[in-house]
Amino acid sequence: MDRRTFALAGALVLALAAPAQAFPDKPVTIIVPFKAGGGTDITTRTLAGPMAKALGAEIVVRNVAGAGGTIGAAETARARADGYTVGMIPVGPMTTQPHLRKLPYAPDSFDYICQAYSAPSSLVVRKDSKFGSLKDMIDYAKANPGKLNYGIQAVGSIPHVAGLGIVEASGAKLEFIPFKGSAPTFKAMLDGTVDMFVAHISFLTRNADQVKSIAMLMDHRVDTAKDLPTAKDQGFDLHFPIWGGLVAPKGIPAEARAKLETACETGMTSEAFGARMAQLRMPVTHLGGDAFKAFVQSEFAKNEKLLRQAGLKKD
């Protein structure tokens, strides 16, 4: 064995004998599949600080927007499965978009870290609407089929799926009218083009002088809106929050997954995160990895059924 070969062999032995670096030994990237400034982005950046402190590593938030969040979700799924790239993937890209088009990922493409937020949604009408409750609206819709218009921000969006859920649960007939975003949907309701739409609770708070809630589309009352009756309070089992959580590419090391899960829980119970969520009127809603996975699977199946019944499911 010549001197060069001997040196290389010695280096290889030392490399193999050296202990592996404990996770994490470099920054962790969180992909947000929307532009900066939206609810998912704000929540992610709020969580990143206390989560990084708990993890003992820098966290970099990277926005990868486009195609309703599916570009960022796909990039998360195909990232190296080492724990250093995770995604804050919301309900739409995870549980509705895969039913609407062929995508390079599905819920089983990920390892689940935690649910990081769950924002209550509300069925809102104009302040001067004759409907004071979800039951009032449904009774009218049944007596006047096709007379009520329901505004949606996009076909297959959670507000749309929530409307499909109302139709399934009640037997009422609603006319769905799509708009490009919540602002034009709101304008259309104010001018009488549509009768109702589903909005985030913070929208309801900001526009309380112009709109009112006839049902929180939740199966329980939330601390941030204890005075508002839920659909379940009115006899309808409807639960359509706007949620999201941290996932990683399938197959990350168990150590990395456990540390990320613990850091997420610690970050979510921090004072800074709780204070910001209170400002947004969003309850702190944490689920660990296994519970979050089971929840996503349930939501995926629920939304598939509703989209299929509406003729929107793409097989």
The CATH number covering residue 81 comes to 3.40.190.150
Q: What is the pLDDT of residue 20?
A: 60
Cβ atoms 174, 149 nearer than 8 A: yes
Are residue 95 and residue 51 in the same domain, yes or no? yes
Are residue 180 and residue 149 in the same domain, yes or no? yes
Are residue 74 and residue 63 in the same domain, yes or no? yes
Residue with token string 């708990």: 54
Are residue 35 and residue 59 in the same domain, yes or no? yes
> Does 2 fall in a domain?
no
**How many angstroms separate the CA atoms of 154 and 173, rounded?**
19
> Does 5 fall in a domain?
no
> Does 175 fall in a domain?
yes
Q: Which residues contact 11 (CB under 8 A, 6 or more apart)?
A: none
Q: What is the pLDDT of residue 207?
A: 93
Q: What is the pLDDT of residue 314?
A: 87
> Does 14 fall in a domain?
no
Q: What is the pLDDT of residue 18?
A: 47
Are residue 204 and residue 271 in the same domain, yes or no? no
> Does 53 fall in a domain?
yes
Residues of the chain predicted below pLDDT 50: 1, 6-8, 10-18
Is 313 strand, coil or helix?
coil
Q: What is the CATH number of the domain that holds 170?
A: 3.40.190.10
Are residue 127 and residue 226 in the same domain, yes or no? yes
Are residue 214 and residue 146 in the same domain, yes or no? yes
Cβ atoms 69, 158 nearer than 8 A: no
> Does 153 fall in a domain?
yes
Q: Note down the domain range covering 270.
A: 25-119+241-309
Are residue 175 and residue 205 in the same domain, yes or no? yes
Are residue 112 and residue 149 in the same domain, yes or no? no
Q: What is the pLDDT of residue 219?
A: 87
> Does 186 fall in a domain?
yes
Picking from 208, 234, 260, the residue at the C-terminal end of a domain is 234
The count of structural domains within the chain is: 2
> Does 34 fall in a domain?
yes
DSSP summary character for residue 230: B
User: Long-range contacts made by residues 102-108, C-beta under 8 angstroms, separation at least 24?
Assistant: 102/314, 103/70, 103/73, 103/74, 104/74, 104/77, 104/78, 105/73, 105/74, 105/76, 105/77, 105/78, 107/293, 107/296, 107/297, 107/300, 108/250
For the chain, helix (H) and strand (E) counts, in that order, are 12, 11
Q: What is the pLDDT of residue 13?
A: 45
Which tokens in the block code for residue 314?
């793409």
pTM for the full predicted model: 0.90
| Residue 253 dihedral angles phi and psi, to the nearest 5° | -60, 145
| Residue 228 dihedral angles phi and psi, to the nearest 5° | -100, 125
Q: What is the pLDDT of residue 222?
A: 81
Q: Which amino acid is at 19?
A: P
Are residue 202 and residue 143 in the same domain, yes or no? yes
Closest by CA to 225, choosing from 278, 176, 180, 271, is 278
